[in-house]
Amino acid sequence: MKKWYLETGPDSDVILSTRVRLARNLQNVPFPIRMTPEQRKAVDAQVKDALLNSHAAIAGDFDYLEMQDTSPARALSMMERHLISPEFAQAKDGALLLMKDESVSVMINEEDHLRIQVMRPGLDLEGAYEMADQLDTLLDERLNYAFDERLGYLTQCPTNLGTGMRASLMLHLPALQQEGVMGQLSDTVSKLGLTIRGLYGEGTEPKGAIYQLSNQVTLGISEQAALQNLKSIAMQVIAQERAARRQLGGDLRLADQVWRSYGLLCTARILSGEEFMQLISNVRLGVALGILTEVTLDEVANLILNAQPGCLTLRVGKNLTPSERDVERATWVRDQLSKTKT
């Protein structure tokens, strides 16, 4: 089954992907931070049974993974592909229900008892939410969610109370970053109930001019209103980025930067993670502007995801030192780019 991230979606020149996540907890069970090992196992079993034995057509598309049986490299690679959170990648007492195309995952016993997550290429908030809502309804029929008429869905972290929904967009904003306006943009969207974070969410830095834009408010607002607010502001950011790109488009120095970056990726023998992300960001901008036609946006997405440390280690099948990883990254990127030329 083709992975979701190997496809492009609406507005994919700026928006890499859409994610909708729903946090849910079970009634009359302590939050994960207060649970005993026995309670964790019981929640795990209930959620697993509710999905895999639901007789719904979708149930057969999921695999069940226990984090204690997952190697550190595989856990890291799943985090890099945004299937699990950085915290969950370190956990040994959680479990994951993962759709075979990796577009849907359910984390069990992370910060909340379960977190339903749906990913889509490009800008597709409606499609991602529809899928998340369908899965949520299916699980709700077989589980007793903790819900309060006044507060909405009860969550371990008070900032998720209400809808329990976190919707986010992964944006590539090299032109706005080059203009030096990201700080101002972050301040502006925060006043509108949104936040801009780094590549892997809260507490992380942007890499390769890739940012996360997500809703902050979950209490006193409906899911549809939150999604509409996010989409409306995202469309404005997209327009600003495209306008900034147009100003750069005719600059010979930009074309030179794009082609130099592509040349380095095609020939380098050592590539650090930081250097790779900067070079691939330049290449992605060049592809989006039509400067470079040797690769496509979905091929660039594949490179970005699979050149990360966990994916490289998992592919090689052994632990790598940082130096070995940089050599392996360069080798793999060269190999992938050579295939696009044939």
Q: CATH top-level class for 4-244?
A: alpha beta
User: At 127, is the secondary structure helix, strand, or coil?
Assistant: helix
Would you list the domain boundaries of the chain?
A: 4-244, 252-340
Burial bucket for residue 303 (CB in 10 Å: 0-12, 13-18, 19+): buried
Q: What are phi and psi of 76, to 5 degrees?
A: -65, -40
Beta pairing partners, 198: 201
pLDDT for 21: 97
Judge whether 257 and 149 are in contact, CB under 8 Å: no
Contact 170, 210 (CB under 8 A): yes
Say what the pLDDT of residue 203 is.
Answer: 61
DSSP string for 59-74: GGGEEEEEGGGS-HHH
pTM value is 0.92
Q: What is the pLDDT of residue 280?
A: 97
Measured distance CA(316)–CA(74) in Å, rounded: 12
- Beta strands 210-215 and 152-153 are unpaired
- The phi and psi torsions of 172 (rounded to 5 degrees) equal -105, 110
> Residue-wise pLDDT tens for the chain (342 aa)?
788 888 889 999 999 999 999 999 999 999 999 999 999 999 999 999 999 998 888 888 999 999 999 998 999 999 998 899 888 988 888 999 999 999 999 999 999 999 999 999 999 999 999 999 999 999 999 999 999 999 999 999 998 999 999 999 999 999 999 999 999 999 999 999 999 988 666 666 788 999 999 999 898 899 999 999 999 999 999 999 999 999 887 788 999 999 999 999 999 999 999 999 999 999 999 999 999 999 999 899 999 999 999 999 999 999 899 999 999 999 999 999 998 765
Could you give the residue ranges of the DSSP H alpha helices within 108-161? 125-140
Q: What whole-number distance in Å separates Cα of residue 42 and Cα of residue 31?
A: 13
